[in-house]
Amino acid sequence: MTEKMTIAVVGVHVLDTHVLRVESIPEGSDGALVDTIRMSPAGTAGGTGVVLGRLGADVHSIGAVGDDPIGDALVGLLQREGLDTSRLVRRTDQQTSASVLPVRPNGDRPAWHVVGANGSLTLDDIDLASVPGLTHVHLGGPEFLGGPAAGELLAQAREMGCVTSVDVLAPGDPDLLAWIADCLPHTDYLLPNDEQVLGFTGAASLEEGARALVDAGAGCVAVTHGAKGALVVTADTVAAVPAYEIGVVDTTGCGDAFSAGFLRGLSLGHDLEAAARLGCATAAQVAQGVGTDHGTYDLDVVLSFAESAEVRA
């Protein structure tokens, strides 16, 4: 399948540094040996873009990074994955957004994070019309623009005939939902995780929370649900899609990978449930290694995996 998808991934671009496997933080100034330290491109825009590129999309990064060595490394890693980085603005007064993730033996990964240049992005930095043949706009981190500005951007994308999607970076909180509410009526696909949905809405169940977000304006809410897979909710549809049975190494970037697989599935003409299966299958590739850029898969590999691999009971 080669259906053309040209997507602008707008917003959060991060350089992740992963440290494996960390059972505890050394006391005082003591040190400890670990298995692996590696860097990977990440973020609700950057990480999703990397995986979309592997799935055959033409990906254009739009965001803000620092004019610093971390930014050089991040841009280089994105370019290595085939992304067009010409629309990333470089800030001289802000460092590049970065995280350090001590990954535990079970795959959990707490994080230290610097917001950096991601917090400086404005509509003046974003020129959707400059992307030739644009079919899709994915906004990662609407909270950095704020609801009115994010809504304006997504409305413009729709006027251009583009599909729109949104993934939120911050934890779920009712005040944050109020902050980004203006963008939801312009969002075709909202792609949060389960903790965000329950935190945004205060709902007693994931389905109830997703329905509340649909009622707030989102066309479809596709929620990642950890080891349970994903839940897809629209005004008249509910579909639960199980995760795949795999050996988890690191869950960093799994949400971004799900978003990429789900959106790519839709671009190929898949229905919502089949697109969510492709999302879960894509996340499974990432979870078996370290970082969002783990693996050497392509679209054909993930499609085959989605059809043949065992799902969790």
**Whole-number Å distance between alpha carbons of 120 and 39:** 23
The answer for 167, left when phi > 0, alpha when psi is -120 to 50, beta otherwise, is beta
What are the helix (H) ranges across the chain?
Answer: 46-54, 69-80, 142-145, 147-159, 174-180, 194-201, 206-215, 254-267, 272-287, 299-308
Active site residue 68: no
Beta bridge mates, 37: 19
Report how far apart, in Å, the C-alpha atoms of 297 and of each of 8, 272, 284 are: 22, 22, 11
**Whole-number Å distance between alpha carbons of 83 and 108:** 28
What token pair was written down for 108? 């959990």
Phi, psi dihedral angles at 182 (to 5 degrees) = -65, -20
Residue 96's nearest CA partner among 72, 70, 76, 121 is 70
Catalytic pick from 256, 271, 293, 298? 256
Please give the positions annotated as active site. Answer: 256
